[in-house]
């Protein structure tokens, strides 16, 4: 690394740093992180903070209740969120703002653009955005599930130059360093493939967070595809942040793609959820990423799920091969109707009048990713 010249950086802080003992918030580990944010801003770098910890921070307020109960967890999140924001706010002499998100907010294009505009407005006016998943209202259908992946989505939305993910170890090792004394730290990762995921293992057992090293790699994969330098560092040591500011790599650096995805394609690929599927013939080989109009009703074998105009859909072959995620210009009901027309001339004329089945402005090729 050379001396960082970041215009904008996203830093993700986990529950173990916020509330290490689940007895409310502690500033013990947060002071060095806050100082890092202060120094970044002094250097002209805008910062977005993605902070977990609301459930862990609120746990001590419900000592006699079953913590696995979903309703109790939501109550813990509601109570802990105010304490967490207040703790962060006390560490800064500049204003901060709370942004609570669900996956439903991010996967809806209009709301996603609104989130971007809000973040940019806060940053332009010197306000620190503090982002967290809205655990009080999320359901299995609506949640991102972990703030590692959320931080990558936020970094993409914020057009960040760097994403810094704080961990309880120095970075990605070739094997679990808690179990193997000969584990070796990977300082640089040029390409995230199956071998990198194999090093990650599963989620942390017995911790206060919802992720582990695997979710951090998932987040890194999302971020680097958008051209964002990504680091996994030890958030428990002040040295990590000092090294970053001095242009040194304190952990594992995931290098960004040389040709990043465009913002709208990245959103379609990594953030938007497919609401249904369109199954095409097995020998279908059109280049959907370059010419969406090549997909016509004559190639469609089946339509699965219910979706509306503007929803994201998955286009795949009969054998399961995924081709693209794309914005549908037709509802599932209408698409079923024209695809089942025996009169091919009718279907062709209908499509000529109404336009292509999927939008070439919002399409992400999956075979090449």
In the predicted structure, residue 124 carries a pLDDT above the cut 50: yes
In the predicted structure, residue 1 carries a pLDDT above the cut 70: no
In the predicted structure, residue 244 carries a pLDDT above the cut 70: yes
pLDDT for 178: 82
What is the percent of the chain where pLDDT is above 70? 84
- Which tens digit of pLDDT belongs to each residue from 188-234? 999 999 999 998 865 444 444 445 899 999 999 999 999 999 999 99
By the 8 A CB rule, do 105 and 26 touch? no
Pure H helices in 304-343: 332-339
Q: Where are the domains of the chain?
A: 8-266, 274-365
Q: Which two tokens stand for residue 315?
A: 């286009």
pLDDT for 136: 82
Lowest mean pLDDT among 42-46, 58-62, 123-127, 177-181: 177-181
In the predicted structure, residue 297 carries a pLDDT above the cut 80: no
- The neighbouring-strand residues paired with 50 are 12, 131
- ∠ Cα 122 219 362 (to 5°): 75
Q: What confidence tier does 281 reach under pLDDT thresholds 50, 70, 90?
A: confident
Q: Phi first, then psi: what are they for 278, rounded to 5°?
A: -115, 120
The domains spanning 8-266 and 274-365 adopt the same CATH topology: no
Distance in angstroms (rounded) separating the CA atoms of residues 258 and 227: 7
- Which tens digit of pLDDT belongs to each residue from 132-143? 998 887 766 556
Distance in angstroms (rounded) separating the CA atoms of residues 119 and 241: 24
Average pLDDT, the chain: 85
Q: Under CATH, which number does the domain 274-365 receive? A: 2.30.130.10
Average confidence (pLDDT) over 330-335: 90
| 341 vs 38, residue with greater confidence | 38
Which architecture, in CATH terms, is 8-266? Answer: 3-Layer(aba) Sandwich (3.40)
Distance in angstroms (rounded) separating the CA atoms of residues 298 and 341: 9
Using DSSP, state whether 73 is helix, strand or coil: helix
In the predicted structure, residue 82 carries a pLDDT above the cut 60: yes
Using DSSP, state whether 46 is helix, strand or coil: strand
Average confidence (pLDDT) over 325-344: 82
Pure H helices in 43-69: 54-58
């Amino acid at each position: 690394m050379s001396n960082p010249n970041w215009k904008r950086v996203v830093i993700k802080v986990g529950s173990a740093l916020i509330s290490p003992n689940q007895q409310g918030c502690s500033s013990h580990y947060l002071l060095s992180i806050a100082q890092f944010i202060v120094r970044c801003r002094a250097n002209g770098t805008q910062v977005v903070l993605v902070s977990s910890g609301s459930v862990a921070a609120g746990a001590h307020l419900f000592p006699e209740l079953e913590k696995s109960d979903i309703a109790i967890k939501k109550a813990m999140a509601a109570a802990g969120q105010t304490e967490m924001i207040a703790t962060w706010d006390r560490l800064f002499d500049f204003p901060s703002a709370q942004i609570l998100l669900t996956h439903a907010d991010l996967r809806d294009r209009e709301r996603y653009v609104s989130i971007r505009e809000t973040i940019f407005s806060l940053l332009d006016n010197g306000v620190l955005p503090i982002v967290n998943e809205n655990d009080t209202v999320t359901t299995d259908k609506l949640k991102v599930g972990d703030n590692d992946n959320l931080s990558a989505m936020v970094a993409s939305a914020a057009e960040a130059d760097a994403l810094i993910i704080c961990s309880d170890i120095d970075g990605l090792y070739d094997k679990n360093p808690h179990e193997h004394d000969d584990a070796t730290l990977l300082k640089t990762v040029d390409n995230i493939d199956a071998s990198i995921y194999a090093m990650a293992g599963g989620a942390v057992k017995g911790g206060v967070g919802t992720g582990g090293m695997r979710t951090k790699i998932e987040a890194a994969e999302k971020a680097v595809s958008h051209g964002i330098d990504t680091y996994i560092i030890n958030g428990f040591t002040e040295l990590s942040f000092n090294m970053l500011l001095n242009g040194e790599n304190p952990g594992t650096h995931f290098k960004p793609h040389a040709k990043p995805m465009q913002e709208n394609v990245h959103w379609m690929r990594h953030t938007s959820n497919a609401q249904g599927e369109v199954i095409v013939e097995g020998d279908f080989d059109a280049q959907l990423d370059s010419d969406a109009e090549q997909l016509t009703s004559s190639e469609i074998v089946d339509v699965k799920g219910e979706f509306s105009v503007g929803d994201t859909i998955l286009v795949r072959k009969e054998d399961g091969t995924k081709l693209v995620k794309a914005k549908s210009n037709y509802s599932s009901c209408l698409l079923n109707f024209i695809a089942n027309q025996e009169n091919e001339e009718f279907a062709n004329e209908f499509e000529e009048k109404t336009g292509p089945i999927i939008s070439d402005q919002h399409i992400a090729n999956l075979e090449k990713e």
